[in-house]
Structure 1
């Protein structure tokens, strides 16, 4: 191995779901741990006003959550690909993308560029377990709070229906939120 190759350290792009501190902070803390171990980290964050569409303004049409998420995905796919190309030619290529499970599409870019794609779950294991079973259709939806039977899922104690996430009762009212949360498992089996 040449000296140059031995001196290069791993370079990870870390891509949190950009709307909530509950997604950004865990990935920031994880990034600090990786950095402490000698990994070069590039934390990918959207500008602070990126989600300004959530605040209605006078004489401005507010787009739907679904339309915004699709736009975010399309722009994100292009921007992430351009960043990887730029880093490849800069002498400091990225060799891993760690992405928030709420945005599974960075894995597609990682695979396209032949680099490792790692999914990062920011919710608790119990909530992810519930959402996974909903995604797989193993949890009959919609739930009803008035059902007296306990819900039994592997890895969890018996759960009262009223203790389940509210999105599982009325998931048709907020399909974009349901799709994000349950859709985080759409390609988890392909992640490295």
Structure 2
């Protein structure tokens, strides 16, 4: 509930990961850090069948306001994404778009029962949550659960389709190029063999291909992009994506550092339209928007001590 008296009300953040282990885990780590800060409430959304299993074992971290909530999904996945779901990705993710009305209802319900939802943090693959955020006039923050290299590959899906590297059903030849072919059109990433292109992008699944093409431009609409990596590990991919997204990212939103130290002056941050360290370490941009004031004050998060090695972190030796 909102604080009583003269104290400021808590900021209510709604988090919505893709219901898979590799997506839920980084989102939960992030939410625990947010909820551990004074002045924040976090509602963690799961699809109903997974939520029903998760609450059996759930113990909220002490001294935090982190709660589990659910919305209905026609697919029943009590243990998260399984083999069947992954081999029918197009059908599954198309079904997730049917949750839009339920998510809108949940935002309204939580806003009335707890406090107004002020921000949605959602998985990149749930691009349609941007439309929900826009409807309520609140920012959406994208969480990439993988590496910066992964983001560059996803960002180049239109070019990869044109080159015959992904989604055979959408290519002119209706098939992919040979495995030994070199893919050298991904900016921010060195050349790689066709065989190294992520298999989920090579699937001959027309529904999945359409969903994938649809999600790419939505990253530009987000207020902030968080990546499960850090700059020194992937400088080229990070620099490219920072340059690409800078015009689409508001410089008034707060910074989330990838390391245990403030960013260097030459270290770009995806969630700020500036390279100056004062915009991150000094939080000088927080006065521009009321929401940014809250987040800049309370959510200057530093992730340390844990190194995630992503499946899609490429080290090219071609």
| TM-score range relative to shorter protein | 0.7 to 0.9
Q: Distance in 2 between matches of 1:174 and 1:68?
A: 12
Within 5 Å, give how 1:65-144 maps onto structure 2: 66-74=90-98, 76-90=99-113, 92-135=115-158, 140-142=163-165, 143-144=176-177
Query: Is residue 178 of structure 1 aligned with residue 209 of structure 2?
Result: yes
Instruction: Specify whether residues 115 and 147 from structure 1 end up closer, same or farther in structure 2 by C-alpha distance, changes over 3 A only.
Output: same
State which drifts further: 181-190 or 156-165.
181-190
- TM-score for the superposition, normalised by structure 2: 0.49
Q: Counterparts of 2:115 and 2:43 in 1: how far apart (Å)?
A: 11
Shift in CA distance, 8/25, structure 1 to aligned 2, threshold 3 Å:
same
* Distance across 2 between alignment mates of 1:55 and 1:22: 14
Q: 1 CA distance for matches of 2:110 and 2:76?
A: 29
Could you tell me which runs of 5 or more consecutive residues in structure 1 were left unpaired when the two chains were aligned: 57-63
Q: 1:86–1:4: structure 2 CA closer, same or farther, 3 Å change rule?
A: farther
C-alpha change, 1:164 and 1:91, in structure 2 (3 Å) is: closer
Aligned pair count reads: 180
**Post-superposition shift, 1:79?**
1.2
Measure the CA separation in 2 of the matches of 1:5 and 1:190. Answer: 35
1:164 CA drift (Å): 1.6
CA RMSD of aligned residues (A): 3.0
Structure 1 residues 139, 166: CA separation in 2 closer, same or farther (over 3 Å shift)? Answer: farther
C-alpha distance in 2, partners of 1:146/1:73?
A: 33
| Relative contact order higher in (CA < 8 Å, ≥ 6 apart) | 1
For structure 2, list consecutive stretches of 5 or more residues without a partner in the other structure. Answer: 51-72, 166-175, 224-318
Q: Give 2:292's aligned residue.
A: none
How do 1:48-67 and structure 2 match up within 5 A?
Answer: 48=49, 51-52=75-76, 66-67=90-91
Q: How far apart in 2 are the matches of 1:67 and 1:162?
A: 25
| Pair 1:182–1:34, CA change in 2 (3 A) | farther
